[in-house]
Amino acid sequence: MALDIRQIPVLKDNFIYLAREPKSGAVAVVDPAVAGPVLETADRLGWKITHILNTHHHGDHVGGNMEIKEATGCTIVGPGHDPDRIPGMDVQVKDGDTYDLGQSRAQVFFVPGHTSGHIAYWFKDSDALFCGDTMFSIGCGRLFEGTPQQMWTSLSRLRALPPQTQIYCAHEYTESNIRFAVSVDPNNAALRRREAEVKSLRAAGKYSVPSTLGEERAANPFLRADAPELAAAIGMAGRSPVEVFAEVRARKDKF
Ligand code: ZN
Ligand code: FE
């Protein structure tokens, strides 16, 4: 069954997601940075939280774990690739595993790069990807614990999902990502379209997330490290995708 997904903005620019599987009534919280707004939103909707799904161990993704677990008795699912850093983890999932939220099945991808244990959850029947801090709209996570090769491999795997996949990432970073992206990929028409779209969304007080994977493939420079025109635009024609990716990521770190 397709999930009913709600977006909760918290802290400066984080998104927490609530996802309800309507047949069973199972409700998952994805990456609860904090507990209060999650419990309030679930209450208001009349939804009973049964699960937490964590993508990685950073505080702005697991900070609400224990309080939500204490309040609801929910099951905490997280990366088996990172067994010691997820507070209260009950179920460890790894690359290639599936996890059933009621009648909705998530496929798990191990996507190291931002952290060494990061995973993503793909709910195929809902066209929903919860990718934490691996992919952002027009960006990707910083390489705190991984190499450019690892992150490029991770992003390449996510990029291969269907184009209609909705990218439920964990931060509203899109405007600043676009300011950087146009500096490395100035002639990309899809990026310029996204720039205009995001400008009007944000001016209207709306979120730029989720986007679709199809849009990201065309406009996100971190998914385009194997595009000859991007390599040429940064003076790296003929270099490998990993080298181009590493250079774009390094420029973003200094931008
Ligand atoms: Zn993070
Ligand atoms: Fe984060």
| Domain ranges for the chain | 4-254
Q: How many CA atoms lie within 13 A of 122 on its CB side?
A: 20
Which of 114, 118, 127, 185 is labelled catalytic? 114
Is 82 annotated as catalytic?
no
Torsion of CA 58, 159, 223, 130, to 10 degrees: -30
pLDDT higher than threshold 90 for residue 198: yes
Q: What's the confidence (pLDDT) of residue 161? A: 98
Q: What's the confidence (pLDDT) of residue 89? A: 98
Q: Report helix, strand or coil for 222.
A: helix
The CATH fold assigned to 4-254 is Metallo-beta-lactamase; Chain A (3.60.15)
pLDDT higher than threshold 90 for residue 184: yes
Residues for the chain: how many in total?
255
Residue 211 token pair: 């986007």
Percentage of residues in the chain having pLDDT higher than 90 = 100
DSSP state of 171: B
> What's the one-letter identity of residue 186?
P
Ligand nearest to the CA of 134: 1
Burial 44-80, CB ≥16 within 10 A → b, else e: eeebebbbbbbbbbbebbbbbbebbbeebebbbbbbb
What does 178-243 look like in DSSP terms, one character per residue? HHHHHHH-TT-HHHHHHHHHHHHHHHTT----SEEHHHHHHH-GGG-TT-HHHHHHTT-TT--HHH
pTM for the whole structure: 0.98
Q: What's the confidence (pLDDT) of residue 1? A: 80
CA of 56 to the centre of ligand 1 (A): 7
What CA–CA distance (Å, rounded) separates 235 from 215? Answer: 25
Is 58 annotated as catalytic?
yes
Q: What is the mean pLDDT of residues 76-82?
A: 98
Is 133 annotated as catalytic?
yes
Is 253 annotated as catalytic?
no
pLDDT higher than threshold 90 for residue 252: yes
Is 61 annotated as catalytic?
yes
Ligand nearest to the CA of 85: 1
Cα 190 to its chain centre, rounded Å, is: 21
Ligand nearest to the CA of 173: 2
Percentage of residues in the chain having pLDDT higher than 70 = 100
Q: What's the confidence (pLDDT) of residue 2? A: 94
pLDDT higher than threshold 90 for residue 30: yes
Q: What is the mean pLDDT of residues 182-187?
A: 97
CA of 238 to the centre of ligand 1 (A): 32
User: Quick count: other Cβ atoms within 10 Å of Cβ 137?
Assistant: 25
Q: Report helix, strand or coil for 118.
A: coil
Report the candidate in 76, 71, 91, 72 with the shortest Cα–Cα distance to residue 30: 76
Q: What's the confidence (pLDDT) of residue 66? A: 98
Is 171 annotated as catalytic?
yes
